[in-house]
Chains A and B, each alone.
Chain A
Amino acid sequence: MQKDPHIARAFDRDLEAVQALVLKMGGLVEAALLDAAVALETRDDELAAAIRAGDKAIDALEEQINVEAARIIALRAPTAGDLRTVLTVMKIAASLERCGDYAKNLAKRSVVLSQMPQIGGAAGAIRRMAKAVESQLKDALDSLIQRDVELAANVRARDAEVDQMYNALFREFLTHMMEDPRNISACMHLHFIAKNIERVGDHATGIAEQVIYLVTGALPEEARPKADMTTSVKGVQS
Chain B
Amino acid sequence: MDDMRYLEIDVTAQTNKMTARGVDVFYGDTHAIKAVDVDILDKTVTAFIGPSGCGKSTFLRCLNRMNDTIDICRVKGTILLDGEDIYDPKVDSVQLRAKVGMVFQKPNPFPKSIYDNVAYGPKIHGLTRNKAELDEVVETSLRRAAIWDEVKDRLQSPGTGLSGGQQQRLCIARAIATSPEVLLMDEPCSALDPIATAQVEELIDELRSQFSVVIVTHSMQQAARVSQRTAFFHLGNLVEYGETGQIFTAPKDPRTESYITGRIG
Q: A residues within 8 A CB of B263?
A: 2, 4-7
- The number of residues on chain A lying at the interface, defined by a beta carbon within 8 Å of a beta carbon of chain B, is 17
* Residues B176-217 near A (CB distance < 8 A): none
Is A77's CB under 8 angstroms from B265's CB? Answer: no
* Residues A1-52 near B (CB distance < 8 A): 2, 4-8, 11
Is A84's CB under 8 angstroms from B249's CB? Answer: yes
Q: A residues within 8 A CB of B221?
A: 77
Is A79's CB under 8 angstroms from B260's CB? Answer: yes
In the complex, whether A225 has a CB less than 8 A from a CB of chain B is: no
* Residues B233-265 near A (CB distance < 8 A): 248-251, 256-258, 260-265
Kindly report which residue of chain B lies nearest to residue A77, judged by CB atoms.
B221
- A5 to B258: give the CA distance in the assembly, Å: 9
- A8 to B261: give the CA distance in the assembly, Å: 10
- A4 to B255: give the CA distance in the assembly, Å: 11
Is B262's CB under 8 angstroms from A80's CB? Answer: no
Most buried by A among B224, B256, B262, B265: B262
CB distance from B20 to the nearest CB of A (A): 26
* Residues A39-92 near B (CB distance < 8 A): 77-84
* Residues A76-127 near B (CB distance < 8 A): 77-84
Say what secondary structure dominates the interface of chain A.
Answer: loop
Is B264's CB under 8 angstroms from A4's CB? Answer: yes
- The number of residues on chain B lying at the interface, defined by a beta carbon within 8 Å of a beta carbon of chain A, is 16
In the complex, whether B38 has a CB less than 8 A from a CB of chain A is: no
- A15 to B171: give the CA distance in the assembly, Å: 42
Q: Per-residue CB proximity of A193-237 to B under 8 Å, as 1/0?
A: 000000000000000000000000110000000000000000000
Is A83's CB under 8 angstroms from B262's CB? Answer: no
In the complex, whether B36 has a CB less than 8 A from a CB of chain A is: no
Kindly report which residue of chain A lies nearest to residue B260, judged by CB atoms.
A79
Kindly report which residue of chain B lies nearest to residue A7, judged by CB atoms.
B262
Is B265's CB under 8 angstroms from A4's CB? Answer: yes
B residues at A contact (CB < 8 Å): 220-221, 224, 248-251, 256-258, 260-265
22 A-B residue pairings within 8 Å (CB atoms): A2-B261, A2-B263, A4-B264, A4-B265, A5-B263, A5-B264, A7-B262, A7-B263, A7-B264, A8-B262, A11-B262, A77-B221, A78-B261, A79-B224, A79-B260, A80-B249, A80-B250, A80-B251, A81-B261, A83-B248, A84-B249, A84-B250
